[in-house]
Amino acid sequence: MIEATSLGIHYRGTPSPQVKDVSFRFEHGVMAMLGKNGAGKTSLIRSIVGLLEPSAGTISRFGEEQAARRASKEHLSRIGYLPQDFGYVPTFTAREFVEYAGWLKGLSPQRAQVETTLSLDLVGMMDSASTRMGQLSGGMRRRVGIAQAIVHGPELLVLDEPTTGLDPEQRVKFRELLRAIQSERAVILSSHLIEDVRALASRILILEQGKLVFDGSTQDLENKGSSGGRGDSALERGYMSVIGGDAVE
């Protein structure tokens, strides 16, 4: 589905690249990307979805390589994306926002209408479908954001820090929601919240200063941690071990 080979991303005007020589292949399930702030997760995700052209290497989507080019329109319609801070027109109702996103993804206006109802129902937002985006709470807006990401039935769903700003109850609800939708599609999830990753992902990538320093299963990462290392859970200890932060101060 997605294959990155020696992928590099270097923003103009910055001293060092944001992503360096990253290679991975992803087919199905839920893959989480972990890393500190500024590790290059968002840059990598933006490159995966086609918003950012890689400065080095290639990225193949759905079996087609597209080196140094943005994703084709056809590929874009097969990807759903929820950015970390997604924009919206405040006067759009939740229904209009999702419907419009569906249209942007190539659905006919009539089909977008039908799929919007299904998506909003799936994320539990039907009751607020007529509420303006600007009047929704942060958590509700996130759910609408997910609805817009899945409205066109993408094969790949990419979520960048989807639980940022959510309270504990909203995060639990979000996990339940993601479990409900992951069965039908592959999901790439970027987060710095270990609990979310543990609850949802089967595979983890860890980025450190733009480099891929770990690529394995949840179990593999847990095994990396030492019993005396830092962290409250095996996964946290494994993560700390990988990023070199497990030394007791």
Could you say whether residue 177 binds other proteins (CB under 8 A)?
no
Of 27, 64, 65, 74, the one binding other proteins by CB under 8 A: 74
Cα 137 from Cα 148, distance rounded (Å):
16
Instruction: Give min distance, CB of 203 to other proteins, in A.
Output: 24
- The answer to whether 12 contacts other proteins (rule: CB under 8 A) is no
Distance (Å, whole) CA 26 – CA 4: 9
51 is an interface residue for other proteins by CB under 8 A: yes
104 binds other proteins (CB under 8 A): yes
Tell me how far apart the alpha carbons of residues 181 and 177 are, in angstroms, rounded to a whole number: 6
Using CB under 8 A as the binding criterion, the count of chain residues that bind other proteins stands at 31
Residue 143 beta carbon to other proteins: minimum distance, rounded to whole angstroms: 17
Is 76 one of the binding residues for other proteins (CB under 8 A)?
yes
What's the CA gap between 170 and 183, in Å, rounded? 21
Q: Which of 50, 57, 210, 225 binds other proteins (CB under 8 A)?
A: 50
Per CB under 8 A, the segment of 31-39, 47-55, 165-173, 177-185 that binds other proteins is 47-55
Shorter beta-carbon distance to other proteins: residue 148 or 218 = 148
Q: How far is CA 55 from the centre of its chain?
A: 21
* Cα–Cα distance measured from residue 169 to residue 246, given in angstroms and rounded to the nearest whole number: 30
How far is residue 54's CA from residue 47's CA, in Å, rounded to a whole number?
Answer: 6
Q: Determine if 49 is a binding residue for other proteins (CB under 8 A).
A: yes
Which of residues 32 and 49 has its CB atom nearest to other proteins in the complex? 49
* Secondary structure (DSSP) of 88-157: --TTSBHHHHHHHHHHHTT--HHHHHHHHHHHHHHTT-GGGTTSBGGGS-HHHHHHHHHHHHHTT--SEE
The answer to whether the CB of 47 falls within 8 A of the CB of 68 is no
The Cα 57–Cα 66 span in angstroms is 10
Select from 96, 155, 195, 208 the one that contacts other proteins (CB under 8 A). 96
Among 14, 110, 183, 227, binds other proteins (CB under 8 A): 110
Interacting residues toward other proteins by CB under 8 A? 49-51, 71, 73-74, 76-77, 79, 81, 83, 85-92, 96, 99-101, 103-106, 109-110, 113, 148
